């Protein structure tokens, strides 16, 4: 796996209305989204990226978790499910799913996720960013809005929790897929 270091924190990217989270930016992406927010992270050989093992990632996150007082974790990128990252991400989930509340941001489809991703994440955001539908990402007390309405968040049971790319915190889960 390759990531950008140091690992950072975020309030905007974890889909609930109270939590901040640690965020890991992976490099490598083949989704070809127009208007990509991190185009330099598409390159798996990006000069500022660092190779990291599952154990090293866990150790770094454990230290940061105790400093920032959260177990919430966002895997973003690039794409954590890019071919050169997915095996390590799956191993990480398998080993440490009970230590972190994991949210994955991917441009892959939910069908890809169901067939290729280890169970154990809490949330997963799927589908490519659509630049023609671009809007502000935001998080308030009531909602979490993704940057394009075609993007969808599923919970760990593959229940869709978004409507038109918006997660309303006061609503029940939206639908099964």
| Mean pLDDT for the chain overall | 93
Q: Say how far residue 28 (Cα) sits from the centre of its chain.
A: 14
Domain ranges for the chain: 2-176
List pLDDT tens digits, range 78-115. 999 999 999 999 999 999 999 999 999 999 999 999 99
The predicted model scores a pTM of: 0.93
pLDDT at 136: 93
For the residues 23-33, what does the mean pLDDT come to? 89
28-42, 70-84, 138-152: segment of lowest average pLDDT: 28-42
Selection from 53, 68, 126 nearest residue 100 by Cα: 68
Q: What is the dihedral of CA 156, 50, 83, 74, to 10 degrees?
A: 20
Beta pairing, strands 8-10 & 72-77: unpaired
Could you give the CA distance from residue 20 to residue 69 in angstroms, rounded to a whole number?
Answer: 9
Q: What is the pLDDT of residue 134?
A: 93
């Amino acid at each position: 796996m390759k990531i950008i270091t140091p690992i950072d924190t975020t309030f905007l990217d974890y889909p609930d209305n109270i939590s901040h989270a640690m965020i890991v930016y992976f490099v490598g992406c083949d989704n070809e989204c127009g208007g990509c927010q991190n185009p330099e992270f598409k390159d798996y050989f990006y000069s500022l990226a660092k190779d990291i093992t599952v154990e090293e990632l866990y150790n770094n996150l454990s230290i940061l978790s105790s400093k920032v007082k959260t177990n919430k974790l966002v895997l973003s990128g690039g794409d954590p499910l890019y071919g050169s990252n997915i095996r390590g991400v799956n191993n990480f989930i398998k080993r440490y799913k009970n230590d972190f509340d994991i949210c994955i941001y991917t441009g892959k489809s939910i069908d890809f996720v169901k067939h290729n991703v280890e169970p154990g994440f809490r949330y997963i955001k799927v589908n490519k960013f659509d630049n023609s539908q671009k809007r502000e990402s935001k998080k308030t007390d009531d909602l979490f809005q993704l940057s394009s309405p075609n993007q969808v968040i599923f919970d760990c049971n593959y229940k869709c929790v978004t409507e038109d790319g918006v997660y309303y915190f006061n609503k029940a889960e939206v639908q099964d897929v």
